[in-house]
Amino acid sequence: MKKKWSDIIKFAVVGNILHLIVSYIYTFDESKSMAVSGAILALTVTIWLLTGFAFGIRPDRKNEVEMMMLSLVSILPITIYLIACQVLEGLSNISEIQHFSLFYFLGTPVLFWNKPFVLIMNLFGESNIYIQLDINVAVVFLIIFIGGYLGLVTRKYMSKNELTK
């Protein structure tokens, strides 16, 4: 049990660090080119897909529940920030300076994490920003789960082929 959680946390941390590195690199893009945005989005999706795949293909026994746990743990930090942003923004009895501080404390990490998804978010410019951010997190959850499931299926297929040899 302890090893399972250790593996889940290790893969979640690696995926988040790589995601943050891509977000950081993307902040230096001055061109605002659609091609660069598409490449960054593809890189981010690939990182999360490979994180899930690497977790699923490992030889120790894994199942769909563990893929779900990896997906949940991977998005847990940004989900906490996102929920806090959505709840605290609705406070009407705080001053303008408190709103400003609240944005820089909670809103900035959320926007930074979602930076690679700008290409998708631009498609829905008129919708609520929080709905877009929630969708981004849900997409990452699904990508990790799909990657993990593909790794699990690949491992089962490879072990089945080894048994038939």
Model confidence over 69-121: pLDDT tens digits? 999 999 999 999 888 888 887 776 777 777 777 777 777 888 888 889 888 88
Instruction: Please write down the HEC assignment for all residues of 31-81.
Output: CCCHHHHHHHHHHHHHHHHHHHHHHHHCCCCCCHHHHHHHHHHHHHHHHHH
Q: How much is the pLDDT for 165?
A: 62
pLDDT of residue 154: 87
For the stretch 11-63, pLDDT in tens is 999 999 999 999 999 988 887 788 888 999 999 999 999 999 999 888 776 78
For 20-48, b/e burial (b = at least 16 CB within 10 A) is eebbeebeeeeeeeeeebeebbebbbebb
Rounded distance between C-alpha atoms, residue 110 and residue 130, angstroms? 10
Helix (H) or strand (E) holding 25: helix 2-26
**Any idea where the domains of the chain sit in the sequence?**
2-164
Statement: the pTM of the whole predicted model exceeds 0.75: yes
